[in-house]
Amino acid sequence: MFKIIATVVVVIIAAVLLFATTEPDTFRFQRTASIKAPPEKIFPFINDLQRFNTWNPYEKKDPNMKGAYSGPGAGKGAAYAFAGNKDVGKGSIEITESSPPNQVSMRLTMLEPFEARNNVEFTLQPRGETTEVTWAI
């Protein structure tokens, strides 16, 4: 009986692993919010990483997080390296493209708790008196 159960478990694990190899190794996750302001007022809070970190929820997850800015103050090439607790990890983010006032692209490189490289994109679309802000990774 034990051999049958062990064989079934091994076959199930093998099937799951085989299925996993057929899946793509990419993902897309996005959220959208409407803000009652024009894109020109919102854009600087994304395009400048120091201003970005005034509202960035990950900055609030570790009050003792260490960080260092480099590159220009805003726009393409602006970067921020960080090291924090287990909720934040260690890595860096750099602005790779900036198209005022509608789009900012970033590269997020995580070193801890696991290695990962992700593209982050913010798009701002005016909708009457509001702006639809979409964050995608």
Q: What mean pLDDT comes out for the span 2-22?
A: 79
Looking at the predicted structure, is the pLDDT value of residue 122 above 80? Answer: yes
Query: Residue 110 belongs to a domain with what CATH number?
Result: 3.30.530.20
Residue with tokens 């490189």: 109
Looking at the predicted structure, is the pLDDT value of residue 24 above 90? Answer: no
Percentage of the chain surpassing pLDDT 70? 98
At residue 44, the pLDDT reads 97
Please check whether residue 52 lies inside any domain of the structure.
yes
The residue type of 45 is F
Q: How confident is the model at residue 53 (pLDDT cuts 50, 70, 90)?
A: very high
Check residue 27 and report its DSSP letter: -
The residue type of 84 is G
Q: How confident is the model at residue 36 (pLDDT cuts 50, 70, 90)?
A: very high
Please check whether residue 88 lies inside any domain of the structure.
yes
Looking at the predicted structure, is the pLDDT value of residue 3 above 90? Answer: no
Please check whether residue 126 lies inside any domain of the structure.
yes
Please check whether residue 94 lies inside any domain of the structure.
yes
At residue 118, the pLDDT reads 93
Looking at the predicted structure, is the pLDDT value of residue 6 above 80? Answer: no
89: Cα separation from own chain's centroid: 13
For the chain, give me the number of helices (H) and strands (E)? Answer: 5, 7
Domain count, the chain: 1
Range of the domain at 84: 29-136
Check residue 11 and report its DSSP letter: H
Rounded Cα distance between 92 and 88, Å, is 11
Rounded Cα distance between 135 and 52, Å, is 13
